[in-house]
């Protein structure tokens, strides 16, 4: 049985003729039934919604029905989250913001009972390699939903209007269930429309994106990541209810990350997180993980006479050489 708040929303939409509200309520019911593994009911509701036609010119469902989502599967890859917030090193403010967002989605019934919805549009900004993708994965893990990562190789088209059409199909497919929809390198489809260097196609894409953002139901948590927040269209930027910065890690964060990575890799001797945190100044979380993984790989291959300290010294020389070259 659907929740009382959704049933009330359906009734109110029907009595007021609010097409958008009606569609969002039905989609929320479908997403909830799928989450309960009621696949047959969910598919029947979805089919009924897509094939519905108004009895007159003033019905709740537009004459054309909902747009088909056939062929949308290639626009994203579905990922089962394998990393949670306990696996990440975050600032206290960033962790608090994520915890509050998760609570809103876990207690959505209380919010809806008072006419409120959980926030569901998140923008992550910061230099590469500092955890934006990991935060998206951790949010999906905390909400027990799949992570749908957008595939730009399939989304971006070469013909006029092709990308905008695919973008609409992507959002139509995502909204049929509870999920985290993740756009990495989000500026690829949301650049400032006033930029004279951009062709007219990006303006069409951004216009379609704005419509999709406004119509996105709250059971879809949209998480976007960019290394260049200054390039985003201002209207797109304003649509995001949560904006989080993920800067390069501090020395204390590097030490905490290296300590956790050392335990995970079983490197009991020869790797001092405190000393390495100082030597690897300016490293991103991704670079730190690569460093520890490289040490662990070489130590394993050098068994039974592996000298972890010597391996670390060698890898540090490599790091210093790359730092000087850059």
CA distance 79 to 67: 25
Q: Is pLDDT of 1 > 70? A: no
H or E element, residue 79 = strand 76-79
Q: What is the DSSP string of 157-212?
A: -SSTTHHHHHHHHHHHHHTTS-EEEEESSGGGS-B-TT-TTS-HHHHHHHHHHHHH
Q: Are 293 and 258 in contact (CB under 8 A)?
A: no
pLDDT in the model for residue 94:
95
- Helix, strand, coil shares, percent, the chain, to 5: 55, 10, 35
Q: How many CA atoms lie less than 13 Å away from 266 in the CB half-sphere?
A: 4
Residue 61 has pLDDT above 60, yes or no: no
The class that CATH gives domain 251-325 is: mainly alpha
Q: Which helix (H) or strand (E) holds 76?
A: strand 76-79
User: 221 forms bridges with which residues in the sheet?
Assistant: 180
pLDDT band (50, 70, 90) for residue 44: confident
Nearest to 123 by CA among 220, 242, 209: 242
CA distance 116 to 108: 8
Low-confidence winner among 62-66, 169-173, 242-246, 295-299 (lowest mean pLDDT): 62-66
CATH code for the part of the protein at 73-245: 3.40.50.300
213 and 126 Cβ atoms separated by less than 8 Å? no
Q: Where are the domains of the chain?
A: 4-51, 73-245, 251-325
* Global confidence as pTM: 0.76
Residues 123-181 have pLDDT tens digits of 999 999 999 999 999 999 999 999 999 999 999 887 768 889 999 999 999 998 899 99
Report pLDDT digits (tens) over 108-136: 999 999 999 999 999 999 999 999 999 99
**pLDDT of amino acid 56:** 39
User: Residue 193: which pLDDT band, with cuts at 50, 70 and 90?
Assistant: confident
What's the confidence (pLDDT) of residue 6? Answer: 66
Peptide bond into 177 cis (omega under 30): no
* Structure tokens, 324: 């000087």
pLDDT, tens digit, 9 for 90 and up, residues 196-219: 555 667 888 999 999 999 999 999
Is 37 or 267 the better-scoring residue by pLDDT? 267
What does the pLDDT read at residue 62?
A: 34
């Amino acid at each position: 049985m659907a929740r009382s708040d959704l049933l009330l929303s359906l009734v109110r939409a029907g009595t007021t003729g609010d097409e958008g509200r009606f569609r969002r309520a039905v989609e929320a019911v479908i997403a909830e039934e799928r989450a309960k593994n009621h696949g047959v009911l969910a598919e029947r509701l979805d089919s009924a919604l897509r094939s519905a036609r108004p009895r007159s010119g003033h019905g709740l469902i537009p004459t054309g029905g909902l747009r088909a989502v056939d062929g949308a599967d290639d626009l994203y890859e579905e990922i089962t989250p394998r990393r949670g917030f306990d696996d990440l090193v975050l600032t206290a403010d960033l962790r608090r913001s994520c915890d509050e967002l998760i609570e809103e989605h876990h207690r959505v019934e209380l919010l809806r009972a008072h006419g409120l919805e959980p926030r569901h549009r998140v923008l992550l900004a910061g230099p590469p390699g500092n955890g934006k993708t990991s935060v998206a994965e951790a949010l999906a893990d905390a909400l027990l939903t799949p992570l749908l990562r957008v595939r730009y190789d399939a989304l971006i088209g070469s013909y006029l209007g092709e990308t905008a059409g695919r973008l609409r199909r992507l959002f139509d497919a995502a909204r049929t269930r509870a999920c985290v929809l993740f756009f990495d390198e989000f500026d690829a489809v949301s650049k400032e429309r006033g930029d004279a260097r951009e062709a007219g196609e990006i303006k069409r894409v951004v216009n379609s994106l704005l419509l999709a953002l406004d119509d996105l139901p709250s059971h879809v948590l949209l998480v976007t990541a960019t290394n260049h927040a200054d390039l985003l269209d201002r209207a797109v930027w304003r649509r995001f209810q949560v904006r989080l910065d993920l800067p390069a890690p501090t020395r204390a964060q590097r030490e905490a990350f290296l300590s956790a990575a050392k335990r995970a890799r079983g490197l009991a001797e020869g790797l001092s997180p405190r000393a390495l945190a100082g030597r690897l100044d300016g490293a991103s979380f991704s670079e730190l993980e690569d460093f520890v993984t490289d040490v662990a790989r070489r130590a394993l291959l050098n068994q039974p006479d592996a000298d972890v300290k010597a391996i670390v010294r060698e890898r540090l020389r490599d790091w210093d050489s790359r730092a000087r070259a850059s």
